[in-house]
Structure 1
Amino acid sequence: MSSKQAQPKGQPAAIERGEEIFARYDSRVMSRLWKYISPHKGALAATVLTVAVFTLAQVSIPVTVRYAVDSAVGNATYPFNAVLAVFVALIVLNAVSNFFQEWVAARLAQRVIFDLRRAMFNHLQQVSLSILDRTQVGRLMSRLQGDVNSLQEFMETSVSAVGDFFLLLGIIGVLLTMDTKLGLLTLAVLPLLFVIRRVWLPWARKAFTRAREASSSVNAALAENINGIRTVQENRREAVNLERYDVRATENLQAQIGSSRASQVMMPTVDTLTGIAMAIVVVVGGSSVVSGELDVGVMVAFIFCVQRFFDPIRTLTMQYTVMQRAMASGNRIFEVLDIPVDLSDKPDAVQLQDVPPSVDFNRVTFGYRPGQPVLHELDLHIAPYQTVALVGPTGSGKTSIAALIHRFYDVWEGEVKVGGQDVRDLTLDSLGRCVGMVLQEPFLFSGTVIDNLRYGIPDASMEDVIEAAKAVRAHDFIVRLPDGYDTVLGQRGRNLSIGQRQLLSFARALLAKPKILILDEATANIDSFTELEIQRALNVLRKGRTTIIIAHRLATIRDADVIVVLQKGRILEKGTHEQLLENDGLYAKLHASSNESFDDVVAEDEAEHVPHT
């Protein structure tokens, strides 16, 4: 294998490695997140304005209390009724601005997260299959769900956190302005809080991490057993699985208790410091009031400020954990968005014109992992309107040939041509319209029967839909469904039999009227009666299009124009059914045996089979 051949690119390491649950503040994450926030400048401005108004109201209330108390005891020139009116107005402004702060912040976060989800969904649809083949779907789903939710929580709470920060500054300013000496004494407890917080954070981080990992483990065990419930009940594994689940559930219980303990430690700590600060105000401030050095209104305002001062500290401490989760989630989200889209249209890509649908493989070498080719310098010509069958043991390269025709992957060496043009020079859309595929395991989406049939051609007429369904003998069973073509399917079509689902996938492919039709083990899961119906339909469907059939069973391929026998990525022999019987090769060996599948036959001496071209 040439050292110059294009090897499949590796995927981002973060998808393969263990998930980091917490991370420190990352300016790169915030910079990229800002690109999704900046388009919503109006909502952002409204958020900042409401936060500013709410913070101003919070700071002004204790000041107003001071003047209200001084007016009540006759120590101020301000009319008590006027001060009371201002106080009531501030209370109303505080409530209204708090509501709008939460509302506009949530709306901003939802809009940003909507854009982010849409970007991830759009990107993952275009990522090459070579990446997805080596990626656990669960990890990608985690990014689309859990990580995005963590980022949304961070955005929604960050607005109030910013407000809390400025509220702290405002309260400090009020305390020092009203009485510098008493203010400094009250704030003397802050250094102690910082020391406690510095000791608490590493311990809390470990506790939160352990809780998150234990929760993921429990959820994974639960999901696995639910997805495999048929196998569980078949093997009567309920009791054993419950014992194993109990172990994980117990670990999760202990981890969650530890997490709760870590969360609750700061609450009594802050309450204790609040009490100390309050005691300072009462003792020192009270003495100053008695001696006439301090107005009683100032001391009451100090008490109000101290009560409000430690609430944002508690909130900001909890926000640090939210920020850590968000930074880790942001890194993972942007790593997904950074997955390269290897398969895309070239700048000068052309539309596949109305040309005879031929297929050519010219010395094609291809594999899914570096250094492990599946196809070896393969040469294959499929003439327009031929029916070609690809047969061979599992792993011989049949499905890889089909995938390369549709350009799900790019070859390492050589070229694949459709209609005489290299598939890499064609637009993916025009190639996709030319090539239709029916796979061994049909995938039906949520929605009605007709929605699934029109999946590739949304504007197809009802007449065309019925014609395609009739062509594959699907119409009769569809009209017997409760609502006919408007019957809503269960998840992946679970309320249909495997054969019925396969017939729908046939009709869906035919409705798109592809010039090249690939049937990849399309009849493997269909019963003999249904397969007979399909065989009759295929005799009609093959007219006017190039058909490539991948199958193990001889009954499916006997009438093909050309049968290509593959072994370990190379062509062993090819010809008609009769010609291959005369060659007395692997195909003839299968035919002479009582087996029905190529998987049941192992070549006794593969070296004896010389590739035919």
Structure 2
Amino acid sequence: MTNQFSIVGAFIGSNKRRVLACFFLDFAANLFTLLIPLLTAQAVALLFGHSSGRFEVIMDAGLSLPHSFSFLVIVFGLALVTRAVLDYWKKKQRGMLSEDFIFELRRDIFHRHLRLDPGQYTSKGAGRYLLRFSGDMGSVQQFLSKGILQFSADVSLLVAGLALIWWLNVWLGWVVAGWLAVMALLFWWLNRKVGRIEKLRRSRKSTALDFVNRRLSNIQTLQALNRQGMENARFRRRAEQLRRLGYRYSHMAAIQEALFPLVIYGLIGVVLIFGWQGGATRLDPSSLFAVLMILLAWRPVLQRLLRVGLIWKKGSLSLYHIARVFQQPLEQVAADAVPVIHPPKTLIFNNLKLNQQTLEFSLATGETVWVGLAEEAERQTLLRYLSRLESPEKGQLFFDEANVLQLDLKDYRRYITLASPTFPLYGATLGEALAGSSSREASEKAALQLTVWKSLFPSLQPLHMDTPLNETASNLTPAQHGLLLLLRSLLTGKPFLVLDHPFKHLDPSAKANVRGILEQAQHKRALLLIESDMEAATTDNLNKKIKIRQLK
């Protein structure tokens, strides 16, 4: 089962070399980060006529190297340039790795959303899932880049620096380690409190987002019933809860920010006191200066390390919610689904029960069948059965001799399409909605057909391929929407077309043109017309060339 740890673990496992390269670059950069304070201390020692035996070991390393100040400056310059190059590459690699992680996660989440059982959105609303693409992604990206990669680099630098201080003076090493341990416990306790507040904040934000999504999705009902004042009051209460939690979060965050200087400068003070009262363990001036330089280099490292608990908490919460998306049920698909090898020629309704109606007929290429269903619930049920959003409770559907429930879901949908307001047009523009593909060929085909249809239907003349579409195509008139749904279904080229009220909202001239289009379409396709008006699709009202069977 997918969980928050397996998501990150799977990505790291598939990118082992890149992750190891990041660790290597961080380790090399840390070595030069520690070398620079030592070189600086030695330069100061040379300026004041003092040198340390330990620095002599570092400078010689078994080689005959000059000990002049000019040589030290050259080494110092090379160390700075090398560290700059390593910093560039490690940050670039870390950034690219985290961006790839988010790219793959976004792709997988969207792919998963498209396969979820539609009932998930019906019961919970889309707003429950929108946060996965906003705040959660930022927290998850920081979890990988700062909570794992940067944290590993910072720990290695802290350990290496502590080892160097131990090498310079064992007792001072224990003092520094003790101080860091005490501060780590203090910030662990603070991070736990901040983490609990953050968890509440995220829950409240998610609830507020769902609240707004539900209200805006039903804005017409809200306005018609004059509920603006009531809904404003409800939202203010939720916003007030968020503000109070924000105050608590700011309070704890301010305490942490105020304590950060205490950690590093308090540690510097401890080192200075140790150097002053060290007695037999007192540091020589160059070693003391090197330790102080190491502590100053630690300043950003300690800030990140003491904050990492909150990054882990935020990232863990986000990954938990994302993992729950991967645990939600998918569309019902038979475990032993059979692929559709040959294009089906017949759609068979075998005692398909729709409330009061039972459908028993077959639909073959070259035929048009009209099903008269007066009840909206029956029409919607039939559409959901034919789109396989639901499975029939009683009765069966067959493609030739194969039960459609045993067929591969994608294969089944490759051969049947539906033109119904239940499945409205969607896309940023009308061209995108009609083409159904980003290919140039599909766009050109859709543009050509739209031009032809605009000459047949005056109501479509104001529209063009770049016409923007609102959600559920609400900026189109019912007549425009119905015609464009029919056009979209024809452009798919699928052999079975299900048309829900294709003549609704049309004037007599438009109806006549639709009849002509259906007459041409049925030569290569099978048409199923769903109507509630018993006279809307009779043989006389259509065209006698269209083969039509009425089922009452």
Question: For the superposition of Structure 1 and Structure 2, which TM-score range results when normalised by the shorter chain?
Answer: 0.7 to 0.9
Determine the structure 1 residue equivalent to 2:24.
49
Determine the structure 1 residue equivalent to 2:71.
82
Q: How far 1:32 moved relative to its partner? A: 3.8
Whether the 8 Å CA contact 1:456–1:512 is kept in 2: the answer is: no
2:263 maps to which of 262, 269, 273: 273
Residues 1:342 and 2:332 aligned together: yes
Residues 1:440 and 2:421 aligned together: yes
Determine the structure 2 residue equivalent to 1:120.
109
1:162 maps to which of 144, 147, 152: 152
Residues 1:416 and 2:390 aligned together: no
Whether the 8 Å CA contact 2:188–2:309 is kept in 1: the answer is: no
Letter in 1 for 2:374: G
Determine the structure 1 residue equivalent to 2:140.
151
Over 3 Å counting, the alpha-carbon distance change for 1:284 and 1:353 in structure 2 is closer
Over 3 Å counting, the alpha-carbon distance change for 1:148 and 1:297 in structure 2 is same
Over 3 Å counting, the alpha-carbon distance change for 1:117 and 1:496 in structure 2 is same
Unaligned regions of 5+ residues in structure 1, if any? 1-11, 13-25, 366-373, 562-574, 581-613
Residues 1:103 and 2:103 aligned together: no
2:469 maps to which of 468, 481, 490: 490
Letter in 2 for 1:147: D
After superposition, what is the alpha-carbon deviation per residue over 1:583-607, rounded to whole angstroms, capped at 9, x for unaligned? xxxxxxxxxxxxxxxxxxxxxxxxx
2:373 maps to which of 391, 412, 427: 391
2:43 maps to which of 68, 79, 89: 68
Would you say how many aligned residue pairs link Structure 1 and Structure 2? 524
Whether the 8 Å CA contact 1:65–1:297 is kept in 2: the answer is: no
Determine the structure 2 residue equivalent to 1:8.
none
Whether the 8 Å CA contact 1:346–1:424 is kept in 2: the answer is: no
Over 3 Å counting, the alpha-carbon distance change for 1:189 and 1:538 in structure 2 is same
Over 3 Å counting, the alpha-carbon distance change for 1:341 and 1:292 in structure 2 is closer
Over 3 Å counting, the alpha-carbon distance change for 1:376 and 1:442 in structure 2 is closer
Residues 1:91 and 2:80 aligned together: yes
The alignment yields a C-alpha RMSD, in angstroms, of 3.7
Name the SS for the 2:536 alignment partner. Answer: helix
Over 3 Å counting, the alpha-carbon distance change for 1:479 and 1:394 in structure 2 is closer
Higher helix share: 2
Q: How far 1:310 moved relative to its partner? A: 5.2
Q: How far 1:169 moved relative to its partner? A: 0.4
Over 3 Å counting, the alpha-carbon distance change for 1:523 and 1:74 in structure 2 is farther
Deviation larger for 166-175 or 37-46 = 37-46
Determine the structure 1 residue equivalent to 2:288.
299
Letter in 1 for 2:468: L
Letter in 1 for 2:519: V
Q: How far 1:542 moved relative to its partner? A: 6.8
Letter in 1 for 2:101: V
Q: How far 1:172 moved relative to its partner? A: 0.9
Structure-2-length-normalised TM-score: 0.81
Q: 1: CA distance between counterparts of 2:540 and 2:153?
A: 74
Deviation larger for 549-558 or 383-392 = 549-558
Q: 1: CA distance between counterparts of 2:450 and 2:212?
A: 42
Name the SS for the 1:353 alignment partner. Answer: coil
Q: How far 1:173 moved relative to its partner? A: 0.5
Letter in 2 for 1:47: C
Residues 1:519 and 2:493 aligned together: no
Q: 2: CA distance between counterparts of 1:295 and 1:456?
A: 74
Q: 2: CA distance between counterparts of 1:473 and 1:184?
A: 87
Structure-1-length-normalised TM-score: 0.74
Q: How far 1:224 moved relative to its partner? A: 4.9
Q: How far 1:178 moved relative to its partner? A: 0.5
Determine the structure 2 residue equivalent to 1:601.
none
Residues 1:547 and 2:527 aligned together: yes
Name the SS for the 1:550 alignment partner. Answer: strand
Over 3 Å counting, the alpha-carbon distance change for 1:406 and 1:207 in structure 2 is closer
Name the SS for the 1:556 alignment partner. Answer: coil
Whether the 8 Å CA contact 1:214–1:248 is kept in 2: the answer is: yes
Deviation larger for 190-199 or 47-56 = 190-199
Whether the 8 Å CA contact 2:384–2:390 is kept in 1: the answer is: yes
Whether the 8 Å CA contact 1:358–1:420 is kept in 2: the answer is: no
Q: How far 1:466 moved relative to its partner? A: 4.4
